[in-house]
Chains A and B, each alone.
Chain A
């Protein structure tokens, strides 16, 4: 008991203070020794790393899990991995939240007499399933996309138990693309894209920076491409508004469903300007001709931009064109895919920028057509036991009919790790371990195999996916009892022989590309796009979500906390409406709209979205449940909802819109721009665009700051930054950033230390996404105003924030021109188990009433300093990097010591493009921004 307690007890401020005494979470009173110390010389409090694989989406990036006290505390991209090479996307970073989610299923569940799912044991659940299998009937197994050993095991499973394995279900099934490739190249695969050497990229609907293919890989490649310099241009054609579109150098907005016209125009233009082989020519001849005028008229894209694009494509020596995403997800989608494939062939992309050898294997994945067949069989009551394995068709398709049909199955077995709409309908639910808790492997692209290995013992009474199948087989007497770990080990030994050993250490194996580029084949596809002009009227585009892909993991509060980069909406559902449309409907943000289409209706608050075409409305998958119609032609789930009726309900709904303004309003909030002047001073500028470095003695009364050894600094390349928000999640997990929840977001109390500030051009034609965090200014305005020195400048240039000295005057927050300080208005530490485990022990958790902010990951700097001291040296370049920089897929962030002339950050800071935010305030920040447009965006 010390003086503070005492004052608190006798309640000097008032009797109230007594209550404040209860805010400390006491540490344990016991000290429990090891029985036998761990063999491998594990030092308590030191992190170890486990190389495994991300399973948040089919891209399967390699992951390096940082483990503290036998518990993963942070996921990082696996350096050197052929797919993601050290980077990780927003969803991958949030994988930890998935692992520690409060919605994890904690033990097997069985429907009791009342028909509600009640906790059970494996010993009860498995025999039930076995007997169901015995019972006979057409058993079926529906799973999400599987690869590697699990796929093999499933085949084995269905072979032995007679449970028919249905085509796997993925909402983003790439059906159209695969179909086109099958028809034209004879390989039904999703090729991977490599813009490494491309001089032109044309993406049609494919949101390559968000969900299409492997966004991380694409961003990485793009970054490599930009480093090479030289001419480079990127055209993006899309019906809606996507991050990818705004990051492309030219964004062409086509009317929904009319992309085929653009492509056919392009194809013919290319055919006329490039030498073609006979077969290609033959194909081209069968494609209805579309003139520039018609294309422009149909799509609403300006004539000259079409010409420019075509010209660029014709001239390009090594172009990359890909169509996908929403552009192929409608009835005309197959045409689009075909045309794209043809253009690829015509421009000789296969084997160069479009890599069929490194294809992602979707061969087992079916399409909506298969789901439709399944629904019919269910309705016909011809399905005995249906096993739904790590898949949630009910929620993904949000299709009444299918949901009903499921009920007709004789027996439903659900296998999954988190409760969802599908599992709720099951008779038996088997809980799965998270990838961090289980053995296995995954195949991101052909020739690469990721190891999945446990970083911790399972939190709950769960089994890994493989073990579940093996246990069921054993129970059904179809196979001897064995463990999945054994199974994969054997398989690896078979496949890779002795090399399998270091497979586990390295985390992956890359056997290199096998197949070469496929040749174009004869095929006849009748193009329907020219038949009739697409119907006008309002259209709803259901876009893939950056945060939850096709909607999976929408319940992860960590992702809900992160603003969607385009709309800056965090927790709530919303509908994006173009500015014109909004004006014509007379609605503002937060006004409620009622959307109706067919049987479906939804009431959603409006969020205006600059750059969204007239009469186009946009919602995100997962955020809003829209029945997934599908194209009878390709079997692709449809992203367009036509014959939409929209009307304002007149109600206003408070919505968690984080941003205060769309435009930067002449404030110079975008790197490279500077505040506008007006009145008598109009035309004068201060600050100026040129790079400003370090000290300001010339203008400052105060002595220049003196940094003996280090001046930690950060530089961000606005060309490379894709606004993908991975850094935000990485930061949140690394620094225990509080999750304040929807209520607080409504009151403007979001806590993220980094934010992506979208600033749109007034006409919505372009946008900048500015990542901002504490700028660690040399002359930080927050420092002199703190009455208790809770924030001060240390001699490594860090703007320190000492949480337990802070009394909470919030003056620093007011005085920070960048508004980068976050205040703990309540005690945000309280979480529900097991989310309480998602804590980085190296970082203090902040209690109520204290200010916090970005620390440049000071704990990592301390760690590096510790190591350096042991080796009797200083911290060197590469010893330390921040969580955001480490995770950035675009390599857009570098961190290091500004005093070290060889450091990357020094180079960038002295780049001619280098500038800093609000330079004219004279705060001299430590965060340098390389402003947009390094010349080679033609």
Chain B
């Protein structure tokens, strides 16, 4: 956490938006892949098992194809699976810099688990060829990998979903609170079911489209794959809106704005379109709609991750705003210094301007307004520019019969200028008839400071 925050520059508002965008992109790359991995691995294992029970070449072949699709080679695993995860801590680390109880470690901790899971599944893929010999090892690898992957991914997901619920952060040291949470559970179920549906789409897409129709020469396998894929996809499509609804429903109230709800609804609508596509694929004798369904699914993932990121941003909008204002004030500070220098060179009196612009709202020299007459209070700051400056920068309540002086929000340069101006006024004859004459020029100020 600390070592991270050292490497993080305090972001501005635009910066935060950029981060949010980045997060969505990351998820768009990452989530569908993991979903596909989980889905295809699970389905492949089921197929292999049934084939083992009652030999069925179609099953075996489809299982092989699925493993090829989902678990691919090592490279996509690294690029799509591992690297995007690595990005997450940095994105959120920057977004939430300085937020109290920010549970970054929960985002970091599960990552190794996920990697391990992926690795195991990799081994599972390798052992596919020789499964006849060492069937049980093969299945064990698959199951183990799947469990590790899903388990640690659940943890990761819950950590991220928790960012939408800052009111619970201070409780997160309690793991039950972290994991046993309806919102997260629904989200994960939604994710997994999308995964299986996506696998269905993937079968249509990769097996029947990607490699081109010619790759699948025998019509029987083609028909089987089509029916299986579309059926699988369709079946799981129906689960999606249910979990989506529950997820939206259990999200804390703070995350919402109208867009978030629309996104939630959009996910459901999109799934409906996909469902129709699957139905069409089932009916038409031809293996079609593979590309459509698959790309639409990617879109679904985009929508739902946008939902999450936006929720996160809504829930923490004060945090964002604070960062913004902080950056803003620093900018002002810099500008003010420049302005002061310019003013000095132009011979204008910054202090007087500030006084007339800001202080005059509540203060007069000799009569009482909201605040006390300055003539009475300034005396105790005689020759104490810094003291007055400090007071102006962060005022404290002194005189009970006045409301406390609010922070005028001046830059330190302005404050200094105004302090010098006022003390100058004090030094000058009370009538303050010819202030200009009395105002010290910057050079004098320099010397004056030296003097005390």
Residues of A within 8 A of B (CB): 3, 6
B163-184 interface code vs A (CB 8 A; 1 in, 0 out): 0000000000000000000100
In the assembly, what is the distance between CA of A6 and CA of B249, in Å? 9
Shortest distance from the beta carbon of A182 to any chain B beta carbon, whole Å = 69
Task: Report the interface size for chain B: residues with CB under 8 A from the other chain.
Answer: 3
Q: Which residues of B contact A6 (CB under 8 A)?
A: 249
Please report the number of residue pairs spanning A and B whose Cβ atoms sit closer than 8 angstroms.
Answer: 3
Instruction: Offer 3 A-B interface pairs, CB within 8 angstroms, sorted by A.
Output: A3-B182, A3-B250, A6-B249
User: What residue of chain A has the Cβ atom nearest to residue B253's Cβ?
Assistant: A1
Shortest distance from the beta carbon of A459 to any chain B beta carbon, whole Å = 39
Q: Which residues of B contact A3 (CB under 8 A)?
A: 182, 250
In the assembly, what is the distance between CA of A3 and CA of B182, in Å? 10
Which residues 233-273 of B have a CB within 8 angstroms of A?
A: 249-250
Q: Which residues of A contact B249 (CB under 8 A)?
A: 6
Shortest distance from the beta carbon of B260 to any chain A beta carbon, whole Å = 15
Considering the complex of A and B, which 3 residue pairs feature the smallest CB-CB distances, nearest first?
A6-B249, A3-B250, A3-B182
In the assembly, what is the distance between CA of A599 and CA of B254, in Å? 76
In the assembly, what is the distance between CA of A6 and CA of B182, in Å? 14
Shortest distance from the beta carbon of B43 to any chain A beta carbon, whole Å = 32
User: What residue of chain A has the Cβ atom nearest to residue B249's Cβ?
Assistant: A6
Shortest distance from the beta carbon of A288 to any chain B beta carbon, whole Å = 86
In the assembly, what is the distance between CA of A289 and CA of B266, in Å? 107
Which residues 134-187 of B have a CB within 8 angstroms of A?
A: 182
Shortest distance from the beta carbon of A438 to any chain B beta carbon, whole Å = 41
User: What residue of chain B has the Cβ atom nearest to residue A6's Cβ?
Assistant: B249
Residues of B within 8 A of A (CB): 182, 249-250
In the assembly, what is the distance between CA of A3 and CA of B249, in Å? 8
In the assembly, what is the distance between CA of A878 and CA of B249, in Å? 51
Q: Which residues of A contact B182 (CB under 8 A)?
A: 3
Q: Which residues of A contact B250 (CB under 8 A)?
A: 3
User: What residue of chain A has the Cβ atom nearest to residue B246's Cβ?
Assistant: A6
In the assembly, what is the distance between CA of A3 and CA of B181, in Å? 13
Shortest distance from the beta carbon of A435 to any chain B beta carbon, whole Å = 43
Shortest distance from the beta carbon of B255 to any chain A beta carbon, whole Å = 14
User: What residue of chain A has the Cβ atom nearest to residue B250's Cβ?
Assistant: A3
In the assembly, what is the distance between CA of A3 and CA of B251, in Å? 11
Shortest distance from the beta carbon of B85 to any chain A beta carbon, whole Å = 32
Shortest distance from the beta carbon of B421 to any chain A beta carbon, whole Å = 38
In the assembly, what is the distance between CA of A3 and CA of B250, in Å? 8
In the assembly, what is the distance between CA of A6 and CA of B248, in Å? 12
In the assembly, what is the distance between CA of A723 and CA of B249, in Å? 56
Shortest distance from the beta carbon of B185 to any chain A beta carbon, whole Å = 13
Shortest distance from the beta carbon of B165 to any chain A beta carbon, whole Å = 14
Shortest distance from the beta carbon of B82 to any chain A beta carbon, whole Å = 37
Shortest distance from the beta carbon of A914 to any chain B beta carbon, whole Å = 48
In the assembly, what is the distance between CA of A3 and CA of B245, in Å? 13
Shortest distance from the beta carbon of A542 to any chain B beta carbon, whole Å = 65
User: What residue of chain A has the Cβ atom nearest to residue B182's Cβ?
Assistant: A3
Shortest distance from the beta carbon of A489 to any chain B beta carbon, whole Å = 36
In the assembly, what is the distance between CA of A486 and CA of B182, in Å? 68
Shortest distance from the beta carbon of A935 to any chain B beta carbon, whole Å = 63
Shortest distance from the beta carbon of A728 to any chain B beta carbon, whole Å = 45
Shortest distance from the beta carbon of A118 to any chain B beta carbon, whole Å = 53
Shortest distance from the beta carbon of B137 to any chain A beta carbon, whole Å = 45
In the assembly, what is the distance between CA of A6 and CA of B247, in Å? 13
Shortest distance from the beta carbon of A937 to any chain B beta carbon, whole Å = 64
In the assembly, what is the distance between CA of A109 and CA of B268, in Å? 65
Shortest distance from the beta carbon of A278 to any chain B beta carbon, whole Å = 81
Shortest distance from the beta carbon of B254 to any chain A beta carbon, whole Å = 14
In the assembly, what is the distance between CA of A456 and CA of B378, in Å? 51
Shortest distance from the beta carbon of A485 to any chain B beta carbon, whole Å = 36
In the assembly, what is the distance between CA of A3 and CA of B186, in Å? 13
In the assembly, what is the distance between CA of A817 and CA of B116, in Å? 63
Shortest distance from the beta carbon of B167 to any chain A beta carbon, whole Å = 14
In the assembly, what is the distance between CA of A3 and CA of B253, in Å? 12
Shortest distance from the beta carbon of B383 to any chain A beta carbon, whole Å = 43
In the assembly, what is the distance between CA of A6 and CA of B186, in Å? 15
Shortest distance from the beta carbon of B252 to any chain A beta carbon, whole Å = 10
In the assembly, what is the distance between CA of A318 and CA of B382, in Å? 88
Shortest distance from the beta carbon of B92 to any chain A beta carbon, whole Å = 28
Shortest distance from the beta carbon of A8 to any chain B beta carbon, whole Å = 13
In the assembly, what is the distance between CA of A85 and CA of B250, in Å? 58
Shortest distance from the beta carbon of A821 to any chain B beta carbon, whole Å = 34
Shortest distance from the beta carbon of B257 to any chain A beta carbon, whole Å = 16
Shortest distance from the beta carbon of A10 to any chain B beta carbon, whole Å = 10
In the assembly, what is the distance between CA of A460 and CA of B249, in Å? 48
In the assembly, what is the distance between CA of A20 and CA of B249, in Å? 21
In the assembly, what is the distance between CA of A6 and CA of B246, in Å? 10
Shortest distance from the beta carbon of A4 to any chain B beta carbon, whole Å = 12
In the assembly, what is the distance between CA of A641 and CA of B250, in Å? 74
Shortest distance from the beta carbon of B403 to any chain A beta carbon, whole Å = 15
Shortest distance from the beta carbon of B42 to any chain A beta carbon, whole Å = 30
In the assembly, what is the distance between CA of A6 and CA of B250, in Å? 10
Shortest distance from the beta carbon of A36 to any chain B beta carbon, whole Å = 16
Shortest distance from the beta carbon of B247 to any chain A beta carbon, whole Å = 13
Shortest distance from the beta carbon of B139 to any chain A beta carbon, whole Å = 39
Shortest distance from the beta carbon of B181 to any chain A beta carbon, whole Å = 12
Shortest distance from the beta carbon of B183 to any chain A beta carbon, whole Å = 11
In the assembly, what is the distance between CA of A21 and CA of B249, in Å? 18
Shortest distance from the beta carbon of A408 to any chain B beta carbon, whole Å = 72
